[in-house]
Structure 1
Amino acid sequence: MTVRTRFAPSPTGYLHLGGARTALFSWAYARHFGGTFILRIEDTDLERSTPEAVQAILDGMNWLGLHHDEGPFFQMQRMDRYREVVGQMLEAGSAYYCYCTPEEVEAMRERQRAAGEKPRYDGTWRPEPGKTLPPVPEGRKPVVRFRNPLDGDVTWNDLVKGPITISNRELDDLIIARPDGTPTYNFCVSVDDWDMQITHVIRGDDHVNNTPRQINILRALGASLPQYGHVPMILGADGEKLSKRHGAVSVMEYPAQGYLPEAMLNYLARLGWSHGDEEIFSMEQFCAWFDLDHLSKSPAQFNPEKLAWLNNHYIKQSDNARLEALVRPVMEREGAQFEGGPDLQAVIALLKERASTINELADAAMLFYRQPAPDAALLAQHVTDAVKPALAQFGKQCETVEWNKAALSALLKEVLATNKLKMPQLAMPLRLILTGQLQTPAIDAVLELLGRETVLARLAKFSK
Structure 2
Amino acid sequence: MSVVTRFAPSPTGYLHVGGARTALYSWLYAKRRGGRFVLRIEDTDRERSTDDAVQVILDAMNWLGLDHDGEIAYQTQRFDRYAEVIEQLLAEGKAYRCYASAEDVEAMRESARARGEKPKYDGTWRPMPGKTLPEPPAGVEPVIRFATPLSGTTVIPDLVKGDITISNTELDDLVIARADGTPTYNFCVVVDDMDMGITHVIRGDDHVNNTPRQINILKALIGDEADLPAYAHVPMILGPDGKRLSKRHGAVGVMTFRDMGILPGALLNYLVRLGWAHGDQEIFTRDEMIAHFDIANVQGGASTFDPEKLTWVNQEHIKAAEPADLVDELAFHLARHDIQDLSAARLAEIAAVQQARCKTMAEMAEASLFLFSAPAEYDAKAVKKHIKTATPALLADVHGALSDLAEWQGAAITEAVRGVAEANEVGMGKVAQPIRIALTGGPVSPSIDDTLVLLGRDATLARLQTAVDVFDQ
The verdict on a shared fold, with TM-score over 0.5 as the criterion, is: yes
Deviations 1:152-210 (A, max 9, x none): 22123311101211111211111111111111111111122222222111111111001
1:33-432 aligned at under 5 Å gives the runs: 33-223=33-223, 224=226, 225-336=228-339, 343-372=346-375, 373-376=377-380, 378-401=382-405, 403-432=408-437
1:441 to 437, 446, 455: 446
Provide the rounded CA distance (Å) in 1 between the counterparts of 2:341 and 2:199: 54
Compared CA separation, residues 395 and 39, structure 1 to 2 (3 A): closer
Provide the rounded CA distance (Å) in 2 between the counterparts of 1:247 and 1:390: 49
Provide the rounded CA distance (Å) in 1 between the counterparts of 2:458 and 2:46: 63
8 Å CA contact 2:261–2:362 kept in 1: the answer is yes
- Residue aligned with 2:467, SS: helix
Compared CA separation, residues 313 and 175, structure 1 to 2 (3 A): same
- Residue aligned with 2:129, SS: coil
Q: CA deviation at 1:297?
A: 0.6
Length-normalised TM-score, structure 2: 0.90
8 Å CA contact 2:392–2:468 kept in 1: the answer is no
Provide the rounded CA distance (Å) in 2 between the counterparts of 1:219 and 1:291: 27
Provide the rounded CA distance (Å) in 2 between the counterparts of 1:337 and 1:53: 28
Deviations 1:214-258 (A, max 9, x none): 111112223432111111111223322112233422222233333
Deviations 1:402-421 (A, max 9, x none): 64333433344444344443
Compared CA separation, residues 81 and 449, structure 1 to 2 (3 A): closer
8 Å CA contact 1:190–1:218 kept in 2: the answer is yes
Provide the rounded CA distance (Å) in 1 between the counterparts of 2:136 and 2:150: 24
8 Å CA contact 1:98–1:143 kept in 2: the answer is yes
Gaps of 5+ in 1: none
Query: Taking every aligned residue pair, what percent have the same amino acid on both sides?
Result: 55
Deviates more, 1:379-388 or 1:116-125: 379-388
Compared CA separation, residues 196 and 405, structure 1 to 2 (3 A): closer
8 Å CA contact 1:338–1:369 kept in 2: the answer is no
Deviates more, 1:4-13 or 1:305-314: 305-314
Provide the rounded CA distance (Å) in 2 between the counterparts of 1:189 and 1:231: 18
Provide the rounded CA distance (Å) in 2 between the counterparts of 1:34 and 1:3: 7
1:456 to 454, 461, 473: 461
8 Å CA contact 1:348–1:365 kept in 2: the answer is no
Provide the rounded CA distance (Å) in 1 between the counterparts of 2:257 and 2:271: 13
Deviates more, 1:53-62 or 1:291-300: 53-62
Amino acid paired to 1:132: T
Compared CA separation, residues 328 and 214, structure 1 to 2 (3 A): closer
8 Å CA contact 1:351–1:441 kept in 2: the answer is yes
Q: CA deviation at 1:49?
A: 1.1
8 Å CA contact 2:3–2:33 kept in 1: the answer is yes
Amino acid paired to 2:468: S
- Residue aligned with 2:403, SS: coil
8 Å CA contact 1:337–1:370 kept in 2: the answer is no
Q: CA deviation at 1:322?
A: 4.5
Q: CA deviation at 1:80?
A: 1.8
Pairwise CA RMSD: 2.5
Q: CA deviation at 1:381?
A: 4.1
8 Å CA contact 1:336–1:370 kept in 2: the answer is no
Compared CA separation, residues 199 and 425, structure 1 to 2 (3 A): same
Provide the rounded CA distance (Å) in 2 between the counterparts of 1:72 and 1:338: 33
Q: CA deviation at 1:100?
A: 0.7
Compared CA separation, residues 458 and 156, structure 1 to 2 (3 A): closer
- Residue aligned with 2:201, SS: strand
Provide the rounded CA distance (Å) in 1 between the counterparts of 2:105 and 2:14: 34
- Residue aligned with 2:5, SS: strand
Q: CA deviation at 1:401?
A: 4.6
8 Å CA contact 2:326–2:351 kept in 1: the answer is yes
Deviates more, 1:251-260 or 1:149-158: 251-260
Q: CA deviation at 1:103?
A: 1.2
8 Å CA contact 2:401–2:420 kept in 1: the answer is no
- Residue aligned with 1:353, SS: coil
8 Å CA contact 2:3–2:30 kept in 1: the answer is yes
Deviations 1:101-160 (A, max 9, x none): 111111222333344432211111122223232222111111111111222221233111
8 Å CA contact 2:331–2:340 kept in 1: the answer is no
How many residues align? The count is 462
- Residue aligned with 1:398, SS: helix
8 Å CA contact 2:401–2:417 kept in 1: the answer is no
Deviations 1:280-320 (A, max 9, x none): 23333322322222111111222223332333333334443
Provide the rounded CA distance (Å) in 2 between the counterparts of 1:119 and 1:256: 47
